[in-house]
Amino acid sequence: MVVRIGKGIDILTPLVYNQTKVDNKSACILGVNKIALPLYDLENASKYFYRYFEPYLLKNQRAVTPVRHISLNPNPVDKLDDLTLLKIARAYMEKVGYKHQPYIIYKHFDLKRIHLHIVSVSINNHGYQIKPYFDFIIAQNACKELVKEFNLTDYTKKYKVEKDLDLKVVDYRESNLTQQIDSVVSSLPKYYKFVDFDAYNAILQLFKVKALRGKMLSDDKSEPVMYRALDHNNKTASNIVSSSKLSLKVDTGFLNKHFKESILSVDLGVDNKVSDQIKSYLSQSKNFKHFEKLLKNQGINLVTHSEDKNRFYFVSHKYRRVFCFSDIDTQLSHRLENDPFFNVLLENTKKKKDPLQELVQHRYDQLNKEFDSLRVHPSFDFVDNYYNAYNKAEFVCFFNFLFNTPSEDLSHQQFESLKKKKKRKKKELGISLT
């Protein structure tokens, strides 16, 4: 089991972080200590929990960082239920001397590996810090004891690459994130050419990885490049993985050398051929998705620059190269802005409203004021369960029209019916006399 201890000044920061996870349904509160859980949903749960930590923080005498944000990470091999996880968390807090402290245990399941977050304070009732020295060593020893007590699977000391690298799209939810990034970063420079750092990030984006540029210290040394995993929206979703931890040290020095080699190997004939091919598909494509599909059929992936949306990269798997054409960027961005049928960004295009939909909306607005007076016919009570308020209003009007009588005066109706009966009797009497 791996433990990480975060220290800080503001208790609201970890509370808001974990509460956001809870609100997004990617975490839950597993247990508390010396804290009462609310009986109903709160608009601001972080401020509610803050009141239980505030008395301890006000008594603080000397501690500079009294807040503790602890992360407990059992091995994903162990399939642990909630009760076992709760026992592990409480046993850990007791071993490190936080048995009588207020703390909240959160279970996070945003990743495929289940892990725990514990928010607490290191100030006791008297205002002094609990075990201020060697707290990390104490935490490691506590984890070793927990592994034996609960018969857990311990992590290996160092990450090692086993056999061949498996090149696939990185999943930030997996436990072997470093191995996945290593597989991508160590393989791509061997097979693909890219002339600058942006082009390098373009091909990495296909595998849901982003590289952060380091600064050169001198001619002989180079800064390590930092890598992060991306989610399906191409937003960073993991911690930093340094190039020094990878099997192939793909740092700034290695990349600059690769950029020079890629520039020297540029073939203008191939560039013109690929450019003409892309322009041809751009002219005959119906929309943006059709354009992407035409390119993919020819082994070309279209990647948009992460910051400049008017800049595009074309990753050709046939030539194993990342292309960037400024003239195609201009044509493509111009068509995206001016052609509503080609534009993939629907928020930039004004869709025409359906006349029937406008009529229905107008009818709904009229009925909304009198909705309380509407009553469903007894034979159609199931409408309350299967229709929302909008459909219910239209549905009720229809059946009120069918089952209700016309809006006429009832006495007048009776008078007319009596007149008809008298006429029929006169006719019958006349026929009988003759």
What one-character-per-residue DSSP string does 212-275 give?
EPPPP-SSS--PPPEEEEB-TTS-B-S--EEGGGSSS---HHHHHHHHHHHHHT--HHHHHHHH
Is 166 within a domain?
no
Strand order of the sheet with strand 2-8?
Answer: 2-8, 67-73, 115-121, 103-108, 27-33
Same domain, 335 and 361: no
Same domain, 197 and 230: yes
Same domain, 189 and 115: no
Same domain, 89 and 20: yes
- Residue-level pLDDT, tens digit, the chain, 434 residues: 889 999 999 999 999 999 999 988 889 999 999 999 988 888 889 999 999 999 999 998 888 999 999 999 998 888 889 999 999 999 999 999 999 999 999 999 877 788 999 999 999 988 899 987 888 899 999 999 999 999 988 875 444 444 444 568 888 888 788 888 888 888 888 888 998 888 898 889 888 999 987 665 544 456 788 899 998 888 888 888 888 888 888 888 888 889 999 898 888 888 888 888 888 888 877 778 888 888 888 888 888 887 777 788 888 888 888 888 887 877 777 777 666 656 654 444 344 456 666 666 766 666 555 444 444 444 334 344 433 444 444 444 444 444 444 444 445 566 677 777 777 776 666 655 45
Is 163 within a domain?
no
Same domain, 38 and 118: yes
338, with CB counted inside 10 A (0-12, 13-18, 19+), is: exposed
Please report where in the chains the tokens 């159609």 appear, as a residue: 380
Same domain, 303 and 385: no
Q: Residue 367 and residue 20: Cα distance in Å, rounded?
A: 39
Tokens for 245, please give them.
Answer: 């931890």
- Of 242, 264, 286, which residue constitutes the final position of a domain? 264
Is 158 within a domain?
no
Is 157 within a domain?
no
Tokens for 149, please give them.
Answer: 């007590």
Same domain, 181 and 306: no
Residue type, position 31, single letter: G
Same domain, 137 and 242: no
Is 296 within a domain?
yes
Q: For residue 123, what pLDDT is reported?
A: 93
Positive or negative, the CA dihedral 338, 339, 342, 343 is positive
Positive or negative, the CA dihedral 59, 63, 69, 73 is negative
Q: For residue 387, what pLDDT is reported?
A: 39
Is 51 within a domain?
yes
Range of the domain at 414: 354-434
Tokens for 15, please give them.
Answer: 């509370």
Is 155 within a domain?
no
Instruction: Please work out, in degrees rounded to the nearest 5, the angle formed at the alpha carbon of residue 135 by the alpha carbons of 131 and 140.
Output: 135
Q: Residue 365 and residue 333: Cα distance in Å, rounded?
A: 41
Whole-prediction pTM value?
A: 0.49
Is 167 within a domain?
no
| Number of independent structural domains in the chain | 4
Same domain, 136 and 12: yes
